[in-house]
């Protein structure tokens, strides 16, 4: 085979790395390509300039002593000049220069009712959007994605309360929300060509949830804060291969929570000391859309998937503890203990290398996980001048 050379080292040891290397040679030749120039592989030079112009305004009107109406709008215009050049030996060099202009308006309406000086309730409607854009010309030419994708929009409906109780020692804020995405943007990738990837509009999606924030000044020196979040997300359409109507959205746990405790210790070691502890918990979530179809099964609705778990990030929690002293001479000392309970907490699961892992017989690269740092101790000295 002219134009191709294979070099084999005769003294390769019988190790997993050597097996993987030889396995790669065999695997790669199943789909061998012949380069027109062995010194050139692939280059993509991408340049973009964006000019944004915006006009926005918000007004409020006191309907009565207790009711206040707020209305706001924002108009934005985006001008983009894009240059995209490709150099690739399997095909002719390609380049493309485009100029585009898009504008959109978003609005907000809020009605607030002041119960008394310490408590108020409100209803809010607000909008948002993410700018559309272009996919790569090669992926578009293959028919995998359209050349362009549209902006997606978000309509947010919210009912909430903000309140203080017991001479402001207890603060309770809560929001009930319902968000509707239209033309939801998501990234997809194909299996046939390495360049088959891009962004598409995947129809509509909805998220409904409740968030609660609590802050308690339990004593002069003790303060406790907590946050809990519950949400139910789902796609409403099935117009993209990896998305099914009723499927949970990625990176959207059904619930999560956070707790912190701070205790001040005055007149310790000649300064003011404090102890701080915090911990957080998050239910399981899917990290990528392509892992979810046909696998999202939570029959008992406990936030844990009951079916196939490939590509599923399991529930996790992480805690930290710190102690500090602020001295009167502007010197401070802080001791910090991260991951107090030394948990092997995985926050992300990637299945991108699963096919290669199976082909090479190396399970280490199957469902690779991103872990929190193990228990770590820090000492910080700070001096202000």
Residue 136: inside a domain: yes
236: CATH: 2.40.170.20
Predicted pLDDT of residue 182: 94
Q: Answer yes or no: are the C-beta atoms of 360 and 20 closer than 8 Å.
A: yes
For residue 277, pLDDT beyond 90: yes
Predicted pLDDT of residue 24: 35
Predicted pLDDT of residue 152: 92
Residue 313: inside a domain: yes
Predicted pLDDT of residue 87: 67
Residue 63: inside a domain: no
Predicted pLDDT of residue 81: 87
Describe the chain by its helix, strand, coil percentages, rounded to 5: 10, 55, 35
Residue 183: inside a domain: yes
Cα–Cα distances in angstroms (integers) from residue 53 to residues 82, 121, 128, 136, 191, in the given order: 18, 34, 16, 26, 40
Domain that residue 198 falls in: 105-383
Predicted pLDDT of residue 72: 97
pTM: 0.76
Residue 292: inside a domain: yes
pLDDT in tens, 215-266: 999 999 999 999 999 999 999 988 887 788 888 888 889 999 999 999 999 9
Residue 12: inside a domain: no
pLDDT in tens, 121-166: 999 999 998 888 888 877 888 888 888 899 999 999 999 999 999 9
Numbers of helices and strands, H then E, in the chain: 3, 21
Predicted pLDDT of residue 196: 83
Percent of the chain having pLDDT more than 70?
A: 82
171-203 in b/e form (b: 16+ CB < 10 A) is: beebbebebbbbbbbbebbeeeeebbebbbbbb
Residue 32: inside a domain: no
**Per-residue pLDDT band at 17 (split at 50, 70, 90):** very low
**What's the length of the chain?**
385
Cα–Cα distances in angstroms (integers) from residue 363 to residues 14, 232, 306, 380, in the given order: 18, 34, 23, 40
Percent of the chain having pLDDT more than 90?
A: 45
For residue 7, pLDDT beyond 70: no
Residue 367: inside a domain: yes
As a whole number, mean pLDDT of residues 255-279 equals 94
- Single out the residue of 78, 94, 75 nearest to residue 86, CA to CA: 94
How many domains are there within the chain? 1
Separation CA 193–CA 366 (nearest Å): 21
- Single out the residue of 178, 129, 184, 123 nearest to residue 156, CA to CA: 178
């Amino acid at each position: 085979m002219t134009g191709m050379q294979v070099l084999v080292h005769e003294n390769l040891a019988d190790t997993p790395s050597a097996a993987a290397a030889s396995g790669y040679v065999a695997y790669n030749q199943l789909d061998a390509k012949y380069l027109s120039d062995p010194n050139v592989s692939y280059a993509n030079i991408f340049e973009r300039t964006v000019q944004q112009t915006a006009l926005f305004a918000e007004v409020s009107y006191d309907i009565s002593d207790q009711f206040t109406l707020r209305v706001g709008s924002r108009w934005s215009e985006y001008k983009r000049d894009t240059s995209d050049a490709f150099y690739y030996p399997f095909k002719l060099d390609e380049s493309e220069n485009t100029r585009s202009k898009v504008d959109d308006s978003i609005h907000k309406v809020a009605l607030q009712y002041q119960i008394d000086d310490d408590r108020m309730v409100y209803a809010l409607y607000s909008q948002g959007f993410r700018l559309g854009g272009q996919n790569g010309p090669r992926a578009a030419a293959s028919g995998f994605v359209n050349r362009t994708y549209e902006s997606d929009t978000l309509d947010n409906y919210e009912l909430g309360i903000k309140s203080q109780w017991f001479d402001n020692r207890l603060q309770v804020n809560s929001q009930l929300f319902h968000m509707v995405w239209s033309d939801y943007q998501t990234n997809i990738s194909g299996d046939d060509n390495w360049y088959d990837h891009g962004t598409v509009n995947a129809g509509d999606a909805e998220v409904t949830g409740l968030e609660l924030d609590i802050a308690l000044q339990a004593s002069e020196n003790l303060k406790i804060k907590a946050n809990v979040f519950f949400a139910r997300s789902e796609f409403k359409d099935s117009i993209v291969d990896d998305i099914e109507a009723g499927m949970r959205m990625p990176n959207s746990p059904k619930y999560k929570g956070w707790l912190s405790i701070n205790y001040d210790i005055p007149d310790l070691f000649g300064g003011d000391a404090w102890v701080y502890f915090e911990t957080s918990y998050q239910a399981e979530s899917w990290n990528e859309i392509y892992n979810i179809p046909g696998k999202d099964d939570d029959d008992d609705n406990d936030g844990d998937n009951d079916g196939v778990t490939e590509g599923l990030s399991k529930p996790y929690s992480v805690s930290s503890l710190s102690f500090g002293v602020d001295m009167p001479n502007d010197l401070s000392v802080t001791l910090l203990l991260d991951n107090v309970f030394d948990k092997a907490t995985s926050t992300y699961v990637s299945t991108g290398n699963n096919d290669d892992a199976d082909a090479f017989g190396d399970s280490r690269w199957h469902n690779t996980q991103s872990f929190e740092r193990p228990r770590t101790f820090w000492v910080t000295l700070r001096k202000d001048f």
